């Protein structure tokens, strides 16, 4: 398994973790929980962008 594949898997896993954490925070009541939910969802977008960039990089280099 190449290093690029490992990075892609890590980026996808962190995006999934932040999605679950954001949904869990959203299900709680209170202002702090809603702030936490928005915070986790913002990080989810960052992790998804990183995963997409890595996938595009892998396609660009020919996925060796």
DSSP character at residue 18: H
> pTM, whole model, 2 decimals?
0.78
Q: What percent of the chain has pLDDT over 70?
A: 97
Alpha helices in 1-64 (DSSP H): 3-26, 31-60
Q: Is the pLDDT of residue 28 over 90?
A: no
Quote the CA–CA distance of 60 and 56 in Å, as a whole number: 6
If pLDDT is split at 50, 70 and 90, which confidence band does 25 have?
confident
Domain ranges of the chain: 3-60
Q: List pLDDT tens digits, range 32-42.
A: 777 788 888 89
Q: Identify the pLDDT of residue 63.
A: 62
- Cα separation, 18 vs 3, in Å, equals 23
* 62 vs 8, more confident: 8
């Amino acid at each position: 398994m190449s290093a690029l594949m490992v990075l892609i898997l890590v980026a996808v896993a962190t995006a999934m973790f932040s999605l679950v954490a954001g949904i869990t925070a959203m299900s709680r009541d209170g202002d702090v929980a809603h702030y936490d939910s928005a915070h986790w969802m913002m990080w989810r977008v960052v992790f998804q962008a990183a995963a997409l960039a890595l996938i595009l990089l892998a396609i660009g280099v020919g996925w060796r």
